[in-house]
Amino acid sequence: MISTYDSDGTAAGAAAGLILTLIFSAFYVVLIAAIYVVSSWFLSKIFVKAGEPAWKGWVPIYNSWVFLEIGGQAGWWALVAFVPVVGIASSVFICIAAYNIALRFGKTAAWVVLYIFVPYVWWGIFAFDRSVWNPQPIAGIFVAPDWARPTSAVLRYVPQARPVYAPQPPAGPQNPGY
């Protein structure tokens, strides 16, 4: 057994190092738990706006699966994220899902840049802003190939390019001479 002793033969230095390690570890666990709680809360708010139950935002891997599916991608990419090299492709599909979700909330495509660099800020903004979920696909949404489509029948859609919120003509009787 290897131990560190001070010059007087005591193990005070090792005990101090152990105490500092325990304090750092406790701080790290609390920080990770806080990040999990905040991100799950943000995702649950986004899921409710998109018509999904809020509890799906609190389940660790399933929330990524649902995020991918409401973004028009296959949910199984959430599992691929754990494969060392192939996980990079999963990150790309998650960013594409964020792009599609932003378009469905009526945001511009530039919002994906915010998601790429600080996803927690992106989730917070989308969770609490007043944007409304548009369940119909709009022009510009990236359509996944057949092999990468969502597996849930509820989340599948047939993509159609259409103008974004074309103004409706006024309804009611027209008074041409007045």
Contact 69, 155 (CB under 8 A): yes
**Structure letter (DSSP) for residue 153:** T
Alpha-carbon distance 42 to 49, whole Å? 11
- Looking at per-residue confidence, does 100 or 143 come out higher? 100
For residue 62, give both structure tokens: 């399933």
Q: Which among 141, 98, 140, 143 is positioned nearest to 116, based on CA atoms?
A: 98
**Residue 170's pLDDT is what?**
62
Using a pLDDT cut of 90, give the percent of the chain over it: 56
CB 10 within 8 A of CB 93: no
Q: What is the pLDDT of residue 144?
A: 62
Instruction: Average the pLDDT over each of 7-11, 104-108, 154-158 and give the range with the smallest value.
Output: 154-158
pLDDT digits (tens, 9 = 90+) for 41-79: 999 999 999 999 999 999 999 999 999 999 989 999 999
Higher pLDDT, 136 or 20: 20
Is the pLDDT reported for residue 178 higher than 70? no
Please, which pLDDT band fits residue 14 given cuts at 50, 70 and 90? Answer: confident
State pTM to two decimals: 0.71
- Other CB atoms closer than 10 Å to residue 121's CB: what's the count? 12
C-beta of residue 59 within 8 angstroms of C-beta of residue 43 = no
pLDDT at 13: 73
Query: pLDDT tens, 80-99?
Result: 999 999 899 999 999 999 99
- Give the mean pLDDT of 13-31: 91
The lowest-confidence range among 3-7, 18-22, 131-135, 168-172 is 3-7
Give the model confidence (pLDDT) of 112-162 as tens digits. Answer: 999 999 999 999 999 999 999 887 766 666 666 666 666 554 444 444 444
Which letter does DSSP use for residue 54 in this model?
Answer: G
Token pair 């990079």 in the structure block, residue: 88
Q: Encoding tokens for residue 50?
A: 């998109």
Dihedral through CA 33, CA 132, CA 141, CA 82, nearest 10? 10
End-to-end CA distance of the chain: 100
pLDDT for res 108: 87
Query: Domain extents for the chain?
Result: 13-148
